[in-house]
């Protein structure tokens, strides 16, 4: 099956209008990201994404660490070239597979990381390779020069950056054309718009990838109480999901759900169609075929100007839905 395709950035990368976020398909260290995952269903979801034309997979060395890339390798075996794979490096992982929580953008670490990811993904190239977070102690020029070498060596296709400021992406783009910036973006998280980063990307011809486009599941309407989240769920540490904001946010979700119901679609589809209507590429995360199929169908949802205005009035730009990360992780955003 074919789905709508879009250009991501201006270097020639063509992607489906909706990608697949794979992070939740494996746990993190001894805990879970978004509840427990079933490997068989996760692999079936990756296969179904290809059947539906949504052959773009988003992963990172950090997820697991490494287990997520290894799962993808298993799923795409024999079909590597039919998928577009995006991975990321930067959170330092030592030789014992321990995450040190430092960010490392030094030249040697970039080279070491890509070899490790190529091995874990069981491939000879990564289509889109992102710096996961800015290393504030290493000039961005050094990191991007090292990534540029990887493009020349054919180890990666295109360069991306995640959660960077307008200044950083402009400096990076002067070293080597940046294809995409990936940051959190949804009806609940519009900081990149407020900080003028989307405008900078447009000016520079750089694509934007919206991660957590369903607000880490919040906008799906499936989470009704904090107790719906398992004890070891990553979201419990996020202010947006904590007492002070949770119940206010649920009221917004209910209004979004009512609007979706009137259109005979799910609130997830409405949240994704809103992003697509802005020419932005969302990568919703799921580990099950049922949600993947529903999310892919959002490509065909058309929103009128009146509907877009209504959504904007439910969650106006600047609405305080709580911070998207704890204090430590907020400090890593450029």
Ligand X SMILES: NC(=O)c1ccc[n+]([C@@H]2O[C@H](COP(=O)([O-])OP(=O)(O)OC[C@H]3O[C@@H](n4cnc5c(N)ncnc54)[C@H](OP(=O)(O)O)[C@@H]3O)[C@@H](O)[C@H]2O)c1
CB nearer to ligand X: give 116 or 133: 133
Quick check: 64 binds ligand X (CB under 6 A)?
A: no
- The reply to whether 63 belongs to the active site is yes
| 34 touches ligand X by CB under 6 A | yes
Do 210 and 186 contact (CB within 8 A), yes or no?
Answer: yes
Q: Does 222 bind ligand X (CB under 6 A)?
A: yes
Joined together, the tokens standing for residue 125 give: 């190239």
Q: Can you tell me which of 17, 22, 103, 172 binds ligand X, judged by CB under 6 A?
A: 22
- Residue 102, Cα to own-chain centre: how many angstroms? 21
**Cβ distance to ligand X smaller for residue 153 or 190:** 190
- Cα-based angle 182, 147, 102 (whole degrees, multiple of 5): 70
Determine if 90 is a binding residue for ligand X (CB under 6 A).
Answer: no
Spot the catalytic one: 34, 63, 83, 158. Answer: 63
Residue placing its CB nearer to ligand X in the complex, 118 or 128: 128
Measured from the CB atom, the residue of 21 and 54 that comes closer to ligand X is: 21
Q: Which one of 91, 188, 211, 274 is in contact with ligand X (CB under 6 A)?
A: 211
Asked if residue 50 has a cis previous peptide bond (ω within 30° of 0), the answer is no
Start-end of H helices in 91-226: 107-121, 140-152, 166-175, 191-194, 197-204
CA dist 230 → 226, 237, 239, 324 (Å): 9, 12, 16, 18
Q: Which of 32, 58, 143, 256 binds ligand X (CB under 6 A)?
A: 58
Among the candidate windows 99-107, 117-125, 211-219, 320-328, which touches ligand X by CB under 6 A?
211-219
Task: Work out whether 286 is an interface residue with ligand X (CB under 6 A).
Answer: yes
**Gap between the Cα atoms of 120 and 141, Å rounded:** 27
* Number of neighbours of residue 256 by Cβ within 10 angstroms: 24
Q: How far is the CB of 124 from ligand X (least distance, A)?
A: 22
State yes or no: residue 87 binds ligand X (CB under 6 A): no
Q: Is 117 in the site for ligand X (CB under 6 A)?
A: no
Question: Rounded distance, CA 169 to CA 167, Å?
Answer: 6
* Nearer to ligand X (CB atom), residue 144 or residue 270: 270
Footprint (CB under 6 A) of ligand X, residues 236-255: none
- Residues in contact with ligand X, total (CB under 6 A)? 30
How far, CA to CA in Å, does 264 sit from each of 267, 268, 269? 10, 12, 10
Taking the complex as a whole, the smallest distance from the CB of residue 305 to ligand X amounts, in Å, to 25
Q: Is 108 helix (H, G, I), strand (E, B) or coil?
A: helix
Choose, by CB under 6 A, the member of 54, 65, 215, 324 that binds ligand X.
215
Beta strands in 263-318 (DSSP E): 281-282
Strand order in the sheet with 281-282: 20-21, 56-58, 84-89, 126-131, 156-162, 180-184, 207-211, 281-282
Decide: is 283 part of the binding site for ligand X (CB under 6 A): yes
- Taking CB under 6 A as the criterion, the residue among 90, 157, 177, 284 binding ligand X is 284
Which one of residues 216, 229, 299, 334 is an interface residue with ligand X (CB under 6 A)? 216
CB closer to ligand X, 13 vs 23: 23
CA distance 307 to 164: 31
Asked if 185 and 192 touch (Cβ cutoff 8 Å), the reply is yes
Residues serving a catalytic function are 63
Q: Which residues sit at the interface with ligand X, rule CB under 6 A?
A: 21-24, 34-35, 58, 132, 162-163, 182, 211-217, 220, 222, 268, 283-288, 291, 294-295
């Amino acid at each position: 099956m074919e789905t709508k395709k879009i250009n991501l950035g201006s270097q020639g990368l063509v992607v489906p209008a909706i990608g697949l976020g794979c992070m939740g398909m494996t746990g993190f260290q001894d805990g879970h990201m978004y509840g427990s995952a079933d490997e068989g269903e996760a692999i079936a979801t990756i296969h179904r994404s290809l059947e539906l034309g949504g052959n773009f997979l988003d992963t990172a060395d950090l997820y697991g660490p490494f287990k997520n890339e290894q799962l993808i390798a298993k799923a795409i075996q024999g079909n590597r070239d039919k998928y577009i794979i995006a991975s990321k490096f930067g959170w330092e992982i030592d030789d014992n597979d321990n995450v040190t929580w430092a960010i490392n953008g030094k030249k040697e670490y970039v080279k070491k990381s890509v070899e490790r990811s190529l091995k874990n993904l069981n491939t000879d190239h990564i289509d889109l390779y992102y710096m996961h977070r800015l290393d504030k102690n290493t000039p961005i020029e050094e990191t991007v020069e090292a990534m540029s070498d990887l493009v020349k060596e054919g180890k990666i296709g295109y360069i991306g950056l995640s959660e960077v400021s307008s200044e950083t992406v402009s400096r990076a783009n002067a070293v080597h054309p940046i294809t995409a910036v990936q940051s959190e973006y949804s009806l609940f998280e519009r900081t990149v718009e407020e900080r003028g980063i989307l405008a900078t990307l447009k000016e520079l011809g750089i694509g934007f990838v919206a991660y957590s486009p369903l607000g880490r599941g919040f906008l799906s309407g499936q989470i009704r109480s904090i107790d719906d989240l398992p004890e070891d769920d990553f979201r419990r540490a996020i202010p947006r999901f904590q007492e002070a904001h949770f119940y206010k946010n649920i009221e917004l979700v209910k209004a979004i759900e009512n609007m979706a119901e009137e259109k005979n679609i799910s609130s997830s589809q409405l949240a994704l169609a809103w992003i697509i209507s802005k020419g932005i590429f969302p990568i919703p995360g799921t580990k099950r075929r049922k949600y993947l199929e529903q999310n892919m169908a959002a490509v065909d949802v058309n929103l009128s100007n009146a509907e877009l205005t209504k959504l904007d009035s439910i969650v106006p730009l600047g609405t305080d839905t709580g911070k998207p990360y704890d204090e430590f992780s907020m400090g890593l955003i450029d």
